[in-house]
Amino acid sequence: MVESASLQELSGKIRGGEIRSEEVMASAYDRIEAHDSDLNVFRSRLDRETALKKAREIDQRAASGEKLGPLAGIPVSIKDNICIQDPELNGSCASAILEDYASPYDAHVVERLKAADAIIIGKTNMDEFAMGSSTENSAYGPTLNPWDRDRVPGGSSGGAAVSVASGMVLLALGSDTGGSVRQPASLCGVTGVKPSYGSVSRYGLVAYGSSLDQIGCLAKSSEDCSYALEVIQGHDPRDSTSSDQTLVGDGKDLELQGKRFCLPETYLDPEVVDAEVIEAISEAESMLLKEGAVIEKRPLEFLRFVIPTYYILAFAEASSNLGRFDGIRYGVRSQKEANLKSLYSDSRSKGFGREVQRRIMLGTFVLSSGYYDQFYGRATRVRAGMEQQIGKLFEEFDFILGPVSPFPACGSL
């Protein structure tokens, strides 16, 4: 019942009193208690009784005829880098440096979820500060893929993807900077969406690469993702990069007849993309063709530059964004306080994992005088060029078709 229903159906039934949130929650916690200890999905979560109590409150409100929000009584997880003010959900970013960090405020998306009467039950494991694509770079151990524990779940929102894939929640919020929602969703067999930059407020999302970070949804279907996006999207005056345009439609009534799809040739190159993935693309291609869509292959040269450009920009921004974790005001502070400089370096060396340190150092390098123009400046120009080319492409096409990841879930990276 719970497994097959869509978010919309299920919350509708909870609002109508046909299904009790308490039942849904109990079944979620059965899954959590059975599997969380070995899959390592949650960084922090409510205990069963607290969660059930919140569910019963929803049921009582429904029973008293109160009008409830669109996610009434639905168990939801948020990624560990989304701020929530709840002493049971302390710690942040799966980093030792924020071991006991208690946020004094809720992220915009948390406010939205609460207003929609969702029940946030926990924060999911991730690559530390969202830096990685396997959820192995967590200071609290890796999250495992529920379909095959010898494979990674992807990342950095690996915990989020697994929380949905293993039936622990019906909706998970993750964050995506360079694939961190879409890739783990793909590797765990659930649906993940990175909405357009600016459509969901970043207020309360701990920044990694600010010009690329975006909160997205992971759920069992695109329909569920779209339903949840309705709740979290929209302008927020606290985020200056927040767009005042709303995302259009849920695609349910989309007519594919005559729609034009661009398929970049690189995505079919067996040198670059795994055979299994190419097969999946071809399958999608024939489905679309059957619906009357037009597919054109194009040699998009600029795709070669996407990854190096992403790395330079994201690392540069990260090196600045992560400066505030210095052991002075919150987080882990080194006890060896010889002087200010060593307080900083000891705290940061101890608090940050290797991958985070590597990215901070590279980001610091590409911004340093003498190298700025060669790296950061150049990456900015390349990005502007790509933006232009993609803009042009969308004059011709309605969609660009491509795989989320060049390979399926694999063993340890």
Partner 1 sequence: MEFETVIGLEIHAQLATESRIFCSCSTEFGCPPNQNTCPVCLGLPGSLPVLNQKVIEYAVKLGLATNCSIRSDSQFARKNYFYPDLPKAYQISQYERPICEHGHLEISTGEGQKQIGITRIHLEEDAGKLLHQENSDSSSVDLNRAGIPLVEIVSEPELSSSEEAKSYMEKMHAILTALGICSGDMEKGHMRCDANVSIRPKGQKEFGTRTEIKNLNSFRFVKQAIDYEIERHREEILDGRELVQETRLWDSERKLTFSMRSKEEAEEYRYFPDPDLPVVELDTAWVDGLRESLPELPDARKLRYREKLGLSEYDAEVLSLSGEASEFFEEVLEAGGDPKQACNWILGDMTRMMNEKDLSLRKLGIKPGMIAELISLIQEGTISGKMAKNLLPDLQNSDQSVKELVEAKGLVQVSDEQELLKMIDGLIQEHAAQVEEYRGGKTKVLGFFVGQLMKQTQGKANPGVANKLIKSRLDG
Q: Which of 89, 200, 356, 367 binds partner 1 (CB under 8 A)?
A: 367
Cβ at position 138, least distance to partner 1 in Å: 17
- In sequence order, what are the beta bridge partners of 262? 296, 400
Nearer to partner 1, 323 or 411 (CB): 323
**Phi, psi torsion values for 408, nearest 5 degrees:** -80, 180
Query: Which stretch in 62-70, 186-194, 364-372, 387-395 sits in contact with partner 1 by CB under 8 A?
Result: 364-372
Q: DSSP H helical segments within 64-131, as ranges? A: 108-115
Report the DSSP beta bridge partners of residue 123: 44, 78
Q: In the window 15-74, what residues touch partner 1 (CB under 8 A)?
A: none
Tokens read off for 134: 């396997």
Q: Which residues pair with 191 in a beta bridge?
A: 219
Burial class (CB in 10 A: 0-12, 13-18, 19+), 330: middle
Least gap, CB of 210 to partner 1 (angstroms): 4
User: Could you confirm whether 95 is annotated as catalytic?
Assistant: no
Q: Is 344 in the site for partner 1 (CB under 8 A)?
A: yes
Q: Would residue 156 show up in a list of annotated catalytic residues for this protein?
A: yes
CA dist 311 and 146 (Å) reads: 29
Identified catalytic residue from 11, 44, 54, 79 = 79
Catalytic annotation, pick one of 92, 180, 243, 347: 180
Rounded to a whole number of angstroms, the minimum distance from the CB of residue 359 to partner 1 is 15
Phi-psi region of 119 (alpha: psi -120 to 50; beta: other; left: phi over 0): beta
Site for partner 1 in 183-202 (CB under 8 A): 202
Q: Which of residues 130-159 bind partner 1 (CB under 8 A)?
A: none
State the Cα–Cα distance between residues 41 and 62, nearest whole angstrom.
Answer: 30
Do 322 and 206 touch, CB atoms closer than 8 A?
no
**d(C-alpha 272, C-alpha 176), whole Å:** 22
Q: Cβ 386 to partner 1, closest distance in Å?
A: 16
| Contact call for residue 207 and partner 1 (CB under 8 A) | yes
Q: Using CB under 8 A, which residues numbered 107 to 126 contact partner 1?
A: 107
Angle at 136 between CA 129 and CA 185, to 5 degrees: 80
Can you tell me which of 206, 217, 277, 332 binds partner 1, judged by CB under 8 A? 206
Smallest separation, CB 329 to partner 1 (Å): 6
CB of 352 to partner 1, least distance (A): 13
- Do 109 and 232 contact (CB within 8 A), yes or no? yes
Among 38, 63, 105, 304, binds partner 1 (CB under 8 A): 105
Q: Is 83 in the site for partner 1 (CB under 8 A)?
A: yes
Interface pattern 219-238 for partner 1 (x via CB under 8 A): ------------------xx
**Geometric angle at alpha carbon 282, from 225 and 167, rounded to 5°:** 30
How would DSSP label each residue in 131-200? --SSS---TT-PPPPTT-TTS---SSSHHHHHHHHTTS-SEEEEEESSSTTHHHHHHHTSEEE-PPTTSB
Among 57, 239, 274, 285, binds partner 1 (CB under 8 A): 239
Give me the least distance between CB of 232 and partner 1, in Å please: 15
Stretch near partner 1 under the rule CB under 8 A, chosen from 30-38, 119-127, 226-234, 313-321: 313-321
Comparing CB distances to partner 1, the nearer of 60 and 374 is 374
**How many residues in the shown chain lie near partner 1 by CB under 8 A?**
43
Nearer to partner 1, 110 or 162 (CB): 110
330: left (phi over 0), alpha (psi -120 to 50) or beta: beta
Determine if residue 213 is left, alpha or beta; phi over 0 gives left, psi from -120 to 50 gives alpha, anything else beta. Answer: beta
Instruction: Point out the residues that are catalytic.
Output: 79, 156, 180
Residues forming the site for partner 1 (CB under 8 A): 82-83, 92-93, 98, 101, 103-105, 107, 202-207, 209-211, 237-241, 316-317, 319-320, 323-326, 328-330, 340, 344, 364, 367-369, 372, 376
